[in-house]
C-alpha cells in the first residue's frame, strides 16, 4: 500500500509539472499571436489574393463580376516585352550585385582588418553610403552621371580632353551604371558583416599556419575563407534577393529607361498593373516572380551549404 501511495504521489507531481510546462508554453505561444496575425494579414492574405486575381480578368476596366481565365495571364507574360525585359534585367542585376558585392566586401574587410592608424575612419567612410536611402543615392548619381553641363563626371572627362559618356542614356551601359552605384552604396555594408566574422576567427590558427610556413595567400584560402562561410552565406543570399526585387534605385536613376534597358520585374510589375491597368497580368508576373526568387534562393542555399560541408 505504501508503494502504491508513493507511486500515486509521484504521478500527481509529474502531472503537475506537465501542466505547469503546458501553461508556460501556452503563455509563450500567446506572445506570437500578434506577429502571426500581422504576417497572415500583410503577407499570406495578399499573396493568396494576388494568386486569385492572376487567374481572372481583373483590370481597370473590369473590377467586378470577374471571370476565371485559367493560366491565360501567365502565358501572356512570354509575349510581353516589358515583363520579359524586367525578368532578364533583374537576374543580370542580381547576379552582378551578388558576385561583386561579396568579392569587394571581402577584399575591403580583409584589408581593413589590419592594424592601420586610419582603419576606423576608412571603415566609416566605406560604410557611410549604406546609411542613406537608395532614392537619395539615385538622385545623387543621376546628377553626377548626367550629360548636361552640371554632370560632374562628364565635366571631368571633358576637362581631360575625352568625350562625354552617356552612362544612363545608353542602353548598353545603363544597367551596369546602376549596378556600379549600388556597389558603391552597399559594399561597405558587406564589409561590416565580413569584419564581424573575421574578428571572431581565433588568432592561434594564423600562428599555427605561420609555423607551418604558409604564406599570407595560402592562409587566406586555407584558413580565412573557409571560416568566413557563414557571413558569405548571409551577404550572398541577401544580395541576390535584394537584387531580384530592386525598384527604388531604378526609379530614381532611369525609371526603367532608356527603352526597357533597365526595367526590372518590380518596375515592370508597377507599370503593367497600375500604369496600364492590367491588374491580373501584373498579379501573374508577381506570382511567377515569387517562385523564381524562391527557387533561386533554395538553389543558392544548397550550393553554399555544400561548400560549407566541403571546407569543414
Nearest to 273 by CA among 258, 289, 254: 289
The answer to whether the CB of 168 falls within 8 A of the CB of 144 is no
pTM, two decimals, is: 0.85
Question: Counting Cβ atoms within 10 Å, is residue 165 exposed (0-12), middle (13-18) or buried (19+)?
Answer: middle
Please state, for a pLDDT cut of 70, what percent of the chain lies above it.
94
CA distance 24 to 60: 51
Alpha-helix residue ranges (DSSP H) falling in the chain: 2-31, 33-39, 45-54, 72-76, 81-112, 119-127, 134-145, 152-159, 174-198, 203-211, 216-219, 225-227, 229-244, 248-253, 265-270, 279-311
Spatial neighbors of 165 by CB under 8 A, at least 6 apart, are 147, 153, 154, 157, 173
pLDDT value at position 116?
Answer: 83
**pLDDT band (50, 70, 90) for residue 11:** low
Spatial neighbors of 258 by CB under 8 A, at least 6 apart, are 168, 169, 170, 171, 174
pLDDT surpassing 90 at residue 307: no
pLDDT value at position 225?
Answer: 85
**pLDDT band (50, 70, 90) for residue 150:** confident
pLDDT surpassing 70 at residue 5: no
Topology given in CATH for the domain delimited by 72-311: MetI-like fold (1.10.3720)
CA distance 109 to 105: 6
pLDDT surpassing 90 at residue 308: no
Question: In the chain, what are the domain boundaries?
Answer: 72-311
pLDDT value at position 309?
Answer: 67
Q: What is the pLDDT of residues 84-140, one digit of tens each?
A: 999 999 999 999 999 999 999 999 999 998 888 888 899 999 999 999 999 899 999
Q: Considering only 102-111, 223-232, 302-311, which range has the smallest mean pLDDT? A: 302-311
pLDDT value at position 183?
Answer: 96
pLDDT value at position 257?
Answer: 86
pLDDT value at position 196?
Answer: 92
pLDDT surpassing 60 at residue 262: yes
**pLDDT band (50, 70, 90) for residue 220:** confident
Spatial neighbors of 244 by CB under 8 A, at least 6 apart, are 90, 91, 93, 94, 265, 289, 292, 293, 296
**pLDDT band (50, 70, 90) for residue 168:** very high
pLDDT surpassing 60 at residue 312: no
- What are φ and ψ of residue 101, in 5° steps? -65, -40
Residue found by looking up cell 537576374 in the block: 91
pLDDT value at position 301?
Answer: 84
The answer to whether the CB of 64 falls within 8 A of the CB of 210 is no
Residue found by looking up cell 532611369 in the block: 254
**pLDDT band (50, 70, 90) for residue 32:** confident
The answer to whether the CB of 197 falls within 8 A of the CB of 231 is yes
pLDDT surpassing 80 at residue 268: yes
What's the whole-number average pLDDT of the chain? 87
Amino acid at each position: 500500500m505504501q508503494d502504491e501511495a508513493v507511486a500515486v504521489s509521484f504521478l500527481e507531481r509529474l502531472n503537475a509539472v506537465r501542466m505547469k510546462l503546458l501553461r508556460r508554453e501556452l503563455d509563450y505561444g500567446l506572445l506570437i499571436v500578434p506577429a502571426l496575425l500581422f504576417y497572415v494579414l500583410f503577407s499570406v492574405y495578399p499573396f493568396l489574393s494576388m494568386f486569385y486575381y492572376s487567374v481572372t480578368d481583373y483590370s481597370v476596366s473590369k473590377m467586378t463580376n470577374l471571370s476565371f481565365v485559367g493560366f491565360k495571364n501567365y502565358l501572356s507574360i512570354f509575349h510581353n516585352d516589358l515583363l520579359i525585359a524586367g525578368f532578364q534585367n533583374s537576374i543580370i542585376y542580381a547576379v552582378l550585385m551578388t558576385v561583386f558585392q561579396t568579392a569587394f566586401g571581402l577584399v575591403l574587410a580583409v584589408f581593413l582588418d589590419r592594424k592601420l592608424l586610419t582603419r576606423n575612419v576608412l571603415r566609416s567612410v566605406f560604410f557611410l553610403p549604406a546609411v542613406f536611402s537608395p532614392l537619395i543615392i539615385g538622385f545623387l548619381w543621376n546628377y553626377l552621371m548626367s550629360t548636361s553641363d552640371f554632370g560632374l563626371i562628364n565635366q571631368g572627362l571633358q576637362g581631360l580632353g575625352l568625350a562625354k559618356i552617356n552612362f544612363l542614356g545608353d542602353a548598353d551601359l545603363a544597367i551596369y551604371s546602376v549596378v556600379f552605384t549600388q556597389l558603391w552604396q552597399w559594399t561597405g555594408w558587406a564589409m561590416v558583416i565580413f569584419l564581424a566574422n573575421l574578428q571572431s576567427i581565433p588568432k592561434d590558427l594564423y600562428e599555427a599556419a605561420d609555423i607551418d610556413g604558409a604564406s599570407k595567400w595560402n592562409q587566406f584560402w586555407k584558413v580565412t575563407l573557409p571560416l568566413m562561410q557563414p557571413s558569405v552565406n548571409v551577404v550572398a543570399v541577401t544580395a541576390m534577393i535584394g537584387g531580384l526585387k530592386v525598384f527604388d534605385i531604378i526609379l530614381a536613376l532611369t525609371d526603367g529607361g532608356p527603352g526597357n534597358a533597365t526595367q526590372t520585374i518590380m518596375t515592370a510589375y508597377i507599370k503593367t498593373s497600375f500604369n496600364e491597368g492590367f491588374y491580373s497580368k501584373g498579379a501573374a508576373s508577381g506570382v511567377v516572380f515569387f517562385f523564381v526568387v524562391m527557387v533561386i534562393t533554395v538553389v543558392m542555399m544548397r550550393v553554399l551549404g555544400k561548400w560549407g560541408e566541403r571546407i569543414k
